[in-house]
Structure 1
Amino acid sequence: EKNILPVIVCVSSPIACIPHWTLKSVVCLLLGNSGHLFREEGVWNYSTMLLREDLGLLILGAREAVFALDLSNITHKKAMVKWQVTQDMQDKCSHKGKDLEIECQNYIRVLHKMADGRMYVCGTNAFSPSCDYMSYTDGRLTLENIHEDGKGKCPFDPFQRYASALVDGVLYSATSINFLGSEPVVMRSSTESIRTDFKTSWLNEPNFVGMEHVAEGQQSPEGDDDKIYLFFSETAVEYDSYSKVEVSRVARVCKNDMGGQRTLQRKWTSFVKTRLDCPVPDTSLPFLIQDVFRFCSGNWTSCVFYAVFTPQAHTSQYSAVCAYEIADIRQVFSMGKFKTPVPVETSFVKWVMYSGEVPFPRPGACINNEARDKGFSRTLDLPDRTLQFIRDRPLMDQAVQPISDVALLVRRGPAFTRIVVASATALDGSSHQVMFIGTASGSVLKVVNYDGDTVIIEEVQLFKLSEPVKILRLSNSQLYAGSEVAAAQMPLSSCGHYSSCLDCVLARDPYCGWNLTANHCTAISSIDPDGHSDVIQSLRDGDATRCPSVGIVKAVNITFHPGSTIKLLCEPGSNLARMQWHVDQRPVISSDTFQILRDGLLIINASTEASGLYTCSSVESSNSRDYVSQNAVYELRLGASQSGETSLLLPQVQKQQHTMVVLQVMVVLLSIMLVALVMWNIYKGHFGFFPQCFSQGQGAQGAQEPLQVSCENTSREGNTSNNNHNRRAEFHSAQGKDSKIQQNTDQIL
């Protein structure tokens, strides 16, 4: 099923930001797209996922439950374990002012695979975070009940953003460490746990969104260390403003950081951060990061961070996607200038670029070969001068700019919420990054950028419009999404939806190509390399000239009558196609008689001049070339005149109209029978209230026989509402007194 969403305008190129295809209903996804939807009665908040491809499972965390679902079909529930809050914990949570039914539950927030195959899982536990170990054996999920304190590992508040990563069995986390959420930390939980300092210059009301491990120490000629990168937004300390201004940040710490000996004991000596820019035209305030995905095509030097951004304080209706190379981030941290706080007369601190001497080893840097040569083999060996510098100046002066200094996509409409990126190999062997972007309206966009030309291939509505996408995860061929009410699964490629060669090629989907031999759109991965010559795919140019011409469409004969209203259906080939109508080879121009709709042509009050041969063509432009396909042909002929008749002369519509006519006739007949029945009963005196209604306002005559039913109720209900017992009592005196009935009737008339 294809449906057209309202046009969503893009800043730079409106056409480029309209999805080529839109699947509006999840039913279409489930039936025709090999997709699946999972939900459990009474369970909510499906927002934590762990892919266990070694077990063929999707581990899904929700409120007070963890599910093990079949990775190939998530509707198949393999196992489930409940992790509920005790009544005592709920009472304590409620007494502290939290909502008993919503907040005082256990929301699963942390799920990581351990080296031994077990899983580390943490939940909010009614604002008392707790962690445990979980295993899957013999088709069962089991919690080991080895409860660990979850403070600093898992958020207290189930609706507060957080980030975590498990690296070599050690948990790195970014969340709040107290009940009120006022003490944010970036922490490593180990025998030598380390965290950030409680200073606004380090973290100032942060909103954590993502954490990524990059193995920069592997094959490093400088003897560098692995890094943990953190993405978040926070209130800026460097802006002079009467109101709070938030900015997006990227920070990093070194994996082997052990803290300082005297200064920064059990604190990060390598915590540095800087601003992350995503430029959007005509905006005054910085856009804020909402999610990030690390994509690496080879070793760590090829890594790119894709991130989605939304405006702050509802200052814009646009969302954006920006991409950042790891080399650019490293450059800012390794070579960039620092900012430093400077007191000013007005008793507040102003942050300016530091222009003084930077001590050695460089503050915030990892221990490398150069530092080791100078006798600094551990962070515990770093001099106080270096540690005091980075303690007071963790902020860099230069911001990280996106690739080519521009956003990959800026789109108006529902806010972007999540992003993941997959790699697709095209017919010519080239590799392309395909972005899957979740939105606040429950849909997922499939987007590719071809050398600066952004194409939205399709938009799939996974959840209701009021259910934002809260999480996205990728496997080799499937995409998994979670919302408050359900989890969904959809394939990365949906080639079967393209019914024609033009649709298939002009969609510019790297997963799909048109097979001339089989005459259908097929997945590139399933094509034999020897059969590539029979497949059409044109990603960068959208060149469909090799597509075979479509056969002549057979005309549908329609007979109409003067004064009729006629609708001729014609669906466009895609969201980007425009419709052209001709009658007897003359263009149809919109007027009082002809109204050109998105899905057809409406002819109002048709006259003799409406007769003729109507053709509908779909026109789609690609690379300055128009591709035209004929979609429908109608032959309209004038029939015998029927005065005053107005009909919608389409087979489907005619059928509906005939049904309506039959229903209308039945309603009229039933109404006549009802009126006759009522008059007959009135004549026989069975409805004693009827004379009473009419006699109101006729003085004492009308008040002689008090009745239980008022005229107001009688007229509103259209029938008597009294029960049979009351009716028999009220009209007992009237039985057998025909002469009196006749007399009363004469008085009424």
Structure 2
Amino acid sequence: MHPLLSLGVFWLLPLALMLEEDSPLDCVPRRSVPYHRDNAHLFREEGVFNYSTMLLREDLDLLVLGAREAVYALDLNDISKKHASVKWEVTQEQKDECRNKGKDPETECLNYIRILHKTEDNRMYVCGTNAFDPECDYMSYTDGELTLEKKAEDGKGKCPFDPFQRYASIMVDNDLYSATSMNFLGSEPILMRSSPVSIRTEFKSSWLNEPNFVSMAQMPESDKSEEGDDDKVYLFFSETAVECDCYNKLVVSRVARVCKGDLGGQRTLQKKWTSFLKTRMDCPVLESQLPYIIQDTYRWCDPQQHWKHCYFFAIFTPQSDTSDLSAVCAYRVSDISRVFEEGKYKSPVPVETSFVKWVMYSGDVPVPRPGACINNEARKAGINQTLDLPDRTLQFIKDRPLMDQAIQPIGRKPLLVRRGATFTRIIVNQVQAADGEKYHVMFIGTEEGTVLKAVNYDGEMFIIEEVQLFQPPESIKILQFSNVTGQLYAGSDYGAAQVPLATCERSLSCMDCVLARDPYCGWDKTDGKCVSVSDSQRELIQSVKAGDASLCPDADPVKPMNQFIWPGGNLKLSCPSPSNLAETSWERDNRLLTPSTRFQLLRDGLLILNASANDAGQYRCVSVERSKTDEYTSTVAEYHVTVDPKGYGRGGQPLFPQAQTDGPSVAGLQAVVALLVVGLVALLAWNFYKGHLPLPWNCGKNRAQPQGTHDKEAQSSTVTHQDAVRPALAENKPLVSGTDNNGRNNNHTGGEAAFNAAGENDAPEVSLQFIDDESEI
């Protein structure tokens, strides 16, 4: 077995087997909502693209949106309303310089806004790629105006050079933490804190090896810490695994962390992180032989609980093209922290084959522990800051930043696995349902411009709905949500969209509302509609775990609709399925209708072909949907079909198609036919004139005359109609006729040239005339 495949099998096969029973890979959304302009509030400006950076300013009721060469201040409640904007464009000189370095002036040599963070003085810190010369500035919003302060700062190490390169950044206590590339070529990846003392990673492959940065998050681990610990900043990324002993490159997912109070070392690791540690993250997915790659994360914390109860939700996609699965895994922050604080290290060991093998380090670990933050124990030893750390500890972490143990997800399996459009972004919101329990609702963006709304109910994956936000489909580049407005915000290259977290109004019946199993929604029996749980004070009908709709009152009967059909005609009866999980069937006169060549069941209705008088009757479309408790049946549509022998309905208008005898389409068709006739006549006349076709009155005459009388005509016919000679060659029916030496013909066919070459120099020339009918010979 290939070493790369064997490594993947040993990693993931034992964990993947646990998914087989309770993880349907073809998990389909219960409701699919196609694109419609009423689905969401949209914002875009003509000529502006890449709306991929967002900053929620709930204190100003603004969504600050960064795009290509522009920043917008939008109404947080309706982003289609623009309050202010500011352009940040590159100069022609900058564009020319960028083009001279080999970059595309129309796509790459522009200013893509990549960083938007709020500062402690309520200003905003903004950075852009600036035609492969990143630059940062401060921005303020006052009196309805968005203003760049023109205090240009060097953006190297803060903002990527390449607008299409992944990066990550976060602002903590006015300090910018950024993970990007330090140089134009993108070959010097770093994790850096820009102020007050610039601290960064080492340029070593053991620290960062061709990384693809994903996201960053801050954890307040100093809060109520008995050890006097420091806050941490976590970095999620993927990189080529240095510890993999294989022929090909293997990409793995990583989580790294640094301490907020890190100041670097005194001699060793000067102005470098002394607390940088990293380890592998696993998300075992069925069918996978190679580890899945992390694409985005979301940190969720309950503000009423300790930080150890926080979670990281992450989406993963395959690193090969052989699978179309995407997955969501959840991790406890406490599990990640425990690996860094108590886990074993990996150590590089040279071997005889001239490469380095990484193995678990089993030697003595220096004190203080390498990579640990300054805590009470270190302070007792007289170490109050990282500048006081001994060189032995610093040298250890410089050579061994990698941990041996991998981080496993909660339950050692994904919360959601789905085949189809690739996942790109994720955010998670917690909502309290009518049963008093709290559930994590995941909003997942895809490459096809849709957003999934999904929940995991005690191990059962359930997708409530999938909404198409952009048309044409554009990959979701960023997702944010506001608890203040209860709205979700999405950005793509095409534009930005805003949709509510709760979409209860889409359910028009109690059964549909309950079977949706949406924690946000419940059925109000008094008002007779599906409403948001948080907005109602009444007791609502809801069953999110089981989908029990037995408490729903009987639905109002569906009013039959009259339809007419004529003998021999066709009729389609519409029946849109209320759910992707439901199955529809048809009844005629209260008896199950069996599909046949004349009765064809469609996805959205019934098609009656070649109708007869016996097809009249009462047609009913019935939907059956199964939940964890029972099967629920509802009538979707009902029709009273009448056969009209004359083809006239109630209004006296003909029901069957009538031939159109006038109008612009008929006149156009007549003109086209006339042009075709004229063209055909002209073509025939030209062929008769050139002799390509014999005249009708000469056909019999030519056949009756002796051949010797028309030797000259035969020669002409042989020369002119070379195309007629070629098929005759295949039949091997030549007729040789003598010709006058003075009447040479230079237009020989291949057969004639071969014949003449075989004769003597003084032999008379001959012409080959081929006749299709042997009776003419």
TM-score, length-scaled by structure 1: 0.85
Q: For the structure 1 residues 189 and 587, does the alpha-carbon distance in structure 2 shift closer, same or farther, using more than 3 Å as the test?
A: same
| 1:260-298 superposed Cα distances (whole Å, 9 cap, x missing partner) | 111111110100000011110111111111111100013
**Alpha carbons 2:42, 2:497 under 8 Å: kept:** yes
Q: For the structure 1 residues 394 and 656, does the alpha-carbon distance in structure 2 shift closer, same or farther, using more than 3 Å as the test?
A: farther
* 1:26 counterpart = 2:33: no
Note the 1:548-627 alignment, pairs <5 A: 548-627=553-632
* 1:489 counterpart = 2:498: yes
Q: Secondary structure, in 3 states, of the residue corresponding to 2:377?
A: helix
- Identical counterparts, % of pairs: 59
**Alpha carbons 1:568, 1:650 under 8 Å: kept:** no
Deviation at 1:92, TM superposition (A): 1.1
Where does residue 432 of structure 1 map in the other structure? 439
Deviates further, 67-76 or 664-673 = 664-673
**Alpha carbons 1:16, 1:454 under 8 Å: kept:** no
In 2, the alpha carbon distance for the partners of 1:671 and 1:301 equals: 77
Where does residue 51 of structure 1 map in the other structure? 56
Where does residue 732 of structure 1 map in the other structure? none
**Alpha carbons 2:546, 2:629 under 8 Å: kept:** no
Q: Which runs of 5+ in 1 are unaligned?
A: 1-8, 30-34, 703-749
Q: For the structure 1 residues 168 and 663, does the alpha-carbon distance in structure 2 shift closer, same or farther, using more than 3 Å as the test?
A: farther
Where does residue 411 of structure 2 map in the other structure? 404
Amino acid in structure 2 at the alignment position of 1:493: A
In 1, the alpha carbon distance for the partners of 2:106 and 2:666 equals: 55
Where does residue 167 of structure 1 map in the other structure? 172
Deviation at 1:693, TM superposition (A): 5.3
Q: Secondary structure, in 3 states, of the residue corresponding to 1:332?
A: helix
Deviation at 1:578, TM superposition (A): 0.8
In 2, the alpha carbon distance for the partners of 1:587 and 1:194 equals: 74
In 2, the alpha carbon distance for the partners of 1:25 and 1:94 equals: 39
Larger radius of gyration: 2
**Alpha carbons 2:25, 2:419 under 8 Å: kept:** no
Where does residue 475 of structure 2 map in the other structure? 468
Deviation at 1:83, TM superposition (A): 0.8
Aligned pairs, how many?
671
Q: 1:265 aligns with which of 245, 256, 270?
A: 270
Where does residue 517 of structure 1 map in the other structure? 526
In 2, the alpha carbon distance for the partners of 1:289 and 1:57 equals: 31
In 1, the alpha carbon distance for the partners of 2:225 and 2:681 equals: 103
In 1, the alpha carbon distance for the partners of 2:672 and 2:175 equals: 83
Q: Secondary structure, in 3 states, of the residue corresponding to 1:74?
A: coil
* 1:317 counterpart = 2:324: yes
Where does residue 313 of structure 2 map in the other structure? 306
* 1:140 counterpart = 2:162: no
Deviates further, 14-23 or 276-285 = 14-23
Deviation at 1:560, TM superposition (A): 3.1
**Alpha carbons 1:22, 1:459 under 8 Å: kept:** yes
In 2, the alpha carbon distance for the partners of 1:79 and 1:483 equals: 20
In 1, the alpha carbon distance for the partners of 2:465 and 2:268 equals: 54
Deviates further, 41-50 or 554-563 = 554-563
**Alpha carbons 1:10, 1:412 under 8 Å: kept:** no
Q: Secondary structure, in 3 states, of the residue corresponding to 1:564?
A: coil
**Alpha carbons 2:34, 2:467 under 8 Å: kept:** yes
Deviation at 1:173, TM superposition (A): 0.5
In 1, the alpha carbon distance for the partners of 2:92 and 2:672 equals: 64
Q: For the structure 1 residues 340 and 556, does the alpha-carbon distance in structure 2 shift closer, same or farther, using more than 3 Å as the test?
A: same
In 1, the alpha carbon distance for the partners of 2:312 and 2:493 equals: 27
In 1, the alpha carbon distance for the partners of 2:350 and 2:21 equals: 41
**Alpha carbons 1:16, 1:455 under 8 Å: kept:** no
Q: For the structure 1 residues 661 and 668, does the alpha-carbon distance in structure 2 shift closer, same or farther, using more than 3 Å as the test?
A: farther
In 2, the alpha carbon distance for the partners of 1:655 and 1:346 equals: 90
Q: Secondary structure, in 3 states, of the residue corresponding to 1:329?
A: helix
Deviation at 1:240, TM superposition (A): 1.5
Amino acid in structure 2 at the alignment position of 1:498: S
Deviation at 1:259, TM superposition (A): 0.8
**Alpha carbons 1:10, 1:410 under 8 Å: kept:** no
In 2, the alpha carbon distance for the partners of 1:661 and 1:238 equals: 77
In 2, the alpha carbon distance for the partners of 1:650 and 1:475 equals: 54
* 1:696 counterpart = 2:686: yes
Amino acid in structure 2 at the alignment position of 1:221: E
* 1:343 counterpart = 2:350: yes
**Alpha carbons 2:166, 2:180 under 8 Å: kept:** yes
Deviation at 1:593, TM superposition (A): 2.4
Q: For the structure 1 residues 19 and 291, does the alpha-carbon distance in structure 2 shift closer, same or farther, using more than 3 Å as the test?
A: same
Where does residue 535 of structure 2 map in the other structure? 526
Q: For the structure 1 residues 238 and 134, does the alpha-carbon distance in structure 2 shift closer, same or farther, using more than 3 Å as the test?
A: same
Q: For the structure 1 residues 674 and 154, does the alpha-carbon distance in structure 2 shift closer, same or farther, using more than 3 Å as the test?
A: closer
Deviation at 1:300, TM superposition (A): 1.6
Deviation at 1:431, TM superposition (A): 1.7
* 1:670 counterpart = 2:667: yes
In 1, the alpha carbon distance for the partners of 2:217 and 2:570 equals: 62
**Alpha carbons 1:581, 1:615 under 8 Å: kept:** yes
In 2, the alpha carbon distance for the partners of 1:677 and 1:155 equals: 66
Q: Secondary structure, in 3 states, of the residue corresponding to 2:451?
A: strand
Q: For the structure 1 residues 260 and 691, does the alpha-carbon distance in structure 2 shift closer, same or farther, using more than 3 Å as the test?
A: closer
| 1:23-64 superposed Cα distances (whole Å, 9 cap, x missing partner) | 1113240xxxxx310001111110000000001101111111
Where does residue 352 of structure 1 map in the other structure? 359
Q: For the structure 1 residues 667 and 656, does the alpha-carbon distance in structure 2 shift closer, same or farther, using more than 3 Å as the test?
A: farther
In 2, the alpha carbon distance for the partners of 1:348 and 1:435 equals: 44
**Alpha carbons 2:68, 2:113 under 8 Å: kept:** yes
Deviation at 1:608, TM superposition (A): 4.7
Deviation at 1:315, TM superposition (A): 2.9
Q: Secondary structure, in 3 states, of the residue corresponding to 1:370?
A: helix
Note the 1:244-263 alignment, pairs <5 A: 244-263=249-268
Where does residue 754 of structure 2 map in the other structure? none
In 2, the alpha carbon distance for the partners of 1:622 and 1:11 equals: 18
In 1, the alpha carbon distance for the partners of 2:654 and 2:302 equals: 56
In 2, the alpha carbon distance for the partners of 1:677 and 1:154 equals: 68
Where does residue 507 of structure 1 map in the other structure? 516
Deviation at 1:485, TM superposition (A): 1.3
In 1, the alpha carbon distance for the partners of 2:308 and 2:457 equals: 22
In 1, the alpha carbon distance for the partners of 2:455 and 2:409 equals: 17
TM-score, length-scaled by structure 2: 0.82
In 1, the alpha carbon distance for the partners of 2:252 and 2:653 equals: 59
Amino acid in structure 2 at the alignment position of 1:670: A
Deviation at 1:619, TM superposition (A): 0.8
Q: Which runs of 5+ in 2 are unaligned?
A: 1-18, 693-777
In 2, the alpha carbon distance for the partners of 1:139 and 1:672 equals: 61
Where does residue 128 of structure 1 map in the other structure? 133
In 2, the alpha carbon distance for the partners of 1:553 and 1:464 equals: 34
Where does residue 441 of structure 1 map in the other structure? 448
What is the RMSD of the two structures over their aligned residues, measured on CA atoms? 2.7
Deviation at 1:690, TM superposition (A): 9.1
Q: Secondary structure, in 3 states, of the residue corresponding to 1:26?
A: coil
Deviation at 1:559, TM superposition (A): 3.9
Deviation at 1:678, TM superposition (A): 9.0
Deviation at 1:369, TM superposition (A): 0.9
| 1:395-419 superposed Cα distances (whole Å, 9 cap, x missing partner) | 1111101111110001001100001
* 1:459 counterpart = 2:456: no
**Alpha carbons 1:120, 1:134 under 8 Å: kept:** yes
Q: Secondary structure, in 3 states, of the residue corresponding to 1:424?
A: strand
Deviation at 1:127, TM superposition (A): 0.5
In 1, the alpha carbon distance for the partners of 2:616 and 2:316 equals: 54
Amino acid in structure 2 at the alignment position of 1:697: N
